[in-house]
Amino acid sequence: MKALYGRYVGYLTAVCARYIADDDEVKDILQDSFIKIFQSMDRFTYRGEGSLKAWMTRIVVNDALKALRRKKPLPLSPVLADIPEDEDPAFDRVPLDVLQGMIRRLPEGYRTVFNLFVFEEKSHKEIASLLGIKENSSASQLHHAKAQLARWIKDYIKRSDNG
């Protein structure tokens, strides 16, 4: 158990932190998730390389979503003036830890939908069902999350080029 924890704690912390902005809450959720993982290990079925990591990730994501749902309803961010589609920002010019910090700074509704769509590869229909929102709300939150991230990335690159 100690070896399993040591091997995956960093990765699963990052997964949880994509959804939960408060570091103390991340630790609480992660602790609960590891208890769940250890207690249900006998129900895990090996399905090839990566299946254990995927199974543990699903538990952490589900626990993070449960924590967000407890705050019911998910605070969807207000829709601002429509942002014109720009070219994709230069993600490759932003260090991973900075990009992760930007994602964590997104308003909760934006961040949750963005993570489910981008990292968990959920459809807007699935996201709507998971979060108890409408599909078009999911699409709108994703659009605005991407636009906000694009602005922050452009600002970051501009500061980096001038500094």
Task: Tell me the residue range of the domain where 117 lies.
Answer: 91-162
CA distance 66 to 112: 12
| Six-digit token string for 96 | 């991973």
What is the CATH classification number for the domain harbouring 52?
1.10.1740.10
Considering the domain architecture, whether residues 50 and 10 belong to the same structural domain is answered as yes
> For 149, which DSSP code?
H
> For 120, which DSSP code?
S
| Six-digit token string for 78 | 């207000």
| Six-digit token string for 114 | 């963005």
pLDDT tens digits, one per residue of 18-45:
999 999 999 999 999 999 999 999 999 8
pLDDT tens digits, one per residue of 106-130:
999 999 999 999 999 999 999 999 9
Predicted TM-score (pTM) of the model is 0.80
Q: Which among 84, 78, 63 is positioned nearest to 108, based on CA atoms? A: 78
In a domain, 83, yes or no: no
Q: By the 8 A CB rule, do 133 and 76 touch?
A: yes
